Amino acid sequence: EPGEGRQFGLEGDQFKIGHQIGKGGQAIVYECSRLRTGNKYAVKVIDTSTKIFMRIGEQHLQRELRNMQELYHPRIVNLHRAFWEPKYCLIVMDLASGGDLHRRIEDEVATYGTPYKGLGGSEFASKHVALQLLDGIAYMHEHNIIHRDLKLENVLIVKSHPCSAEVADQPRELLDIKIADLGYSKMVKREGGEEEPDQPPMMQRVHSAVGSPDFVAPEVLSQDYDLRADFWSFGVMLYAMLCGCWPFNISGTKDLQKERHRELVSTINASEPWANASEDAKAIIQGLLTVDPNKRLGAGDCMRHPWLRVQGVDEDDMRMTRRRQRSTSASALLEMITGPSPVVREIHAKAGYAVDSVDLELSNGSVRSYGAKGGEHRGHWYLKEDEIIWGLMQETRPNYLGNSIVFFTSCARSIVIAGSNAHRRCRLVAPQGSQIVGLQFEQSHLIGIHMEKVVDGKGAVQQISGQAGHAVDKVVMTLRDGSTREYGEDGGQEQ
């Protein structure tokens, strides 16, 4: 049974379990360390042998892991590794050892009494957390994932920054946080073309009621909602951070009946801390706790709101920051393979969890370096005299060159530089002068390709289309002679 002192993981790359830091449901959370590096993480140990897990828990866990694999952001508890054993699943994640926001607010109310002056004793401290929450929520939504269970217990404290007590109206401390627990999260698809993140009506709607009673949006109880439900929960959290109590009096399951709940949440509790809150704070919370989701504030509205713009937050800057996080060093990677001369002759790289650095040695003897120091694994590749790099694929990751980088060469070679967190992918490439005209599958595994020589500058394939939902359901290759080659089954959205 996993417990303190127990080791797990791959041979030669083991983790060691430390002290327990949390417990709930079927899981126990421990601190753990990676023996090879000494880095600290959290490991969630889940007993997969219980009847309740086998009945409903496995579905939630698989969803959580699947959606965590799609995300990597400083305001989210990120997945590093997952290990399945006969009776347990061990999930290695970011360590956030400061407890959760619910417990912190409870402790502050008990310690400092009433009227509550807000998280950390100041609205400024609540803004600091609100901006981080907004950044994390907007990032998830840009990746088409609704959290569906945003609540104070799922906001974990990473670090506390004490402030000077000598300055008037200064908060006692500022908290760095991460959003946790994607067990109820759901991936949806944008309907139509690319949309900006503050246009939620273009998102596919969800038809299942989940969430926690104090934080659940009214439309969720009607089982017809989209990402705007997360912003209702965000509003409840803001009220609790400022007032130390709940905005609505929801006392049991009877209050979760659709009409009863709608009546209860139509008026925000006029608590004493609420009366003392600034007008801008009240306005943003009222905008978030709007029963009609079509009138509710979204990510863009919050970024532009005076209560958050006091700290100089600009919507375009915030959005560009997230784009830079999604495409770290993308311009540098493009530079690697552009330019007529000189050509790359050798590639040197270092990787750990992700790709840390890439050095390109050119035919004129110069070296182009990208990334930073780090990475335990080294790679070194030589290119042939007539071999050139003609393509590149990057699986992005913030603050690194990516989870993986793949160079495609004119000799039909794929040079793969991958960290341990990179997704496993099948990569098949045609040599220069040829085109892929067909695929070969063994059940769901792509095991080969069919190729034809390109004649007179035209390949045989005229168009590629398909259908995809959470994964790729079908691929159709239309040839210039009018015939088609189809793979997979109908399902998902046409692309």
State the pTM of this model.
0.65
* Alpha-carbon distances, residue 387 vs 347, 365, 408, 468 (angstroms): 13, 17, 10, 35
Least confident of 34-38, 256-260, 385-389, 475-479: 385-389
User: Rounded distance, CA 264 to CA 255, Å?
Assistant: 8
Average pLDDT over residues 447-476: 81
Collapse the DSSP code of 121 into the 3-class scheme (helix H, G, I; strand E, B; otherwise coil) and give the result. helix
Work out the pLDDT band at 469, boundaries 50, 70, 90.
low
Is the confidence at residue 187, as pLDDT, over 60?
Answer: yes
- Count of C-beta atoms within a 10 Å radius of residue 442: 8
- Amino acid sitting at position 278: S
Say if residues 164 and 173 touch (Cβ distance below 8 Å). no
Task: Give the integer Cα–Cα distance in Å for 321 and 318.
Answer: 5
Residue-level pLDDT at 205: 52
pLDDT tens for each residue of 199-246: 443 344 554 455 578 889 888 888 788 899 999 999 999 999 999 999
Cα distances from 335 to residues 57, 139, 141, 251, in angstroms, run 46, 27, 30, 59
**317 pLDDT above the threshold of 50:** no
**Residue pointed to by tokens 């967190």:** 421
Is residue 111 helix, strand or coil?
A: helix
Residue 248's SS3 state is coil
* Residue 203 structure tokens: 């998102």
Q: Is-contact 383 361, C-beta < 8 A?
A: no
- Which residue reads 């981080």 in tokens? 132
Mean of the per-residue pLDDT values of the chain: 82
Q: Give the pLDDT of residue 45.
A: 94
Q: Which domains does the chain have, with CATH numbers?
A: 6-93 (3.30.200.20), 99-186+220-248+259-308 (1.10.510.10), 344-453 (2.100.10.30), 461-494 (no CATH)
**Secondary structure (3-state) at 458:** strand
- Confidence band, pLDDT 50/70/90 cuts, at residue 281: very high
Based on its alpha-carbon atoms, the radius of gyration of the chain, rounded to whole angstroms, reads 26
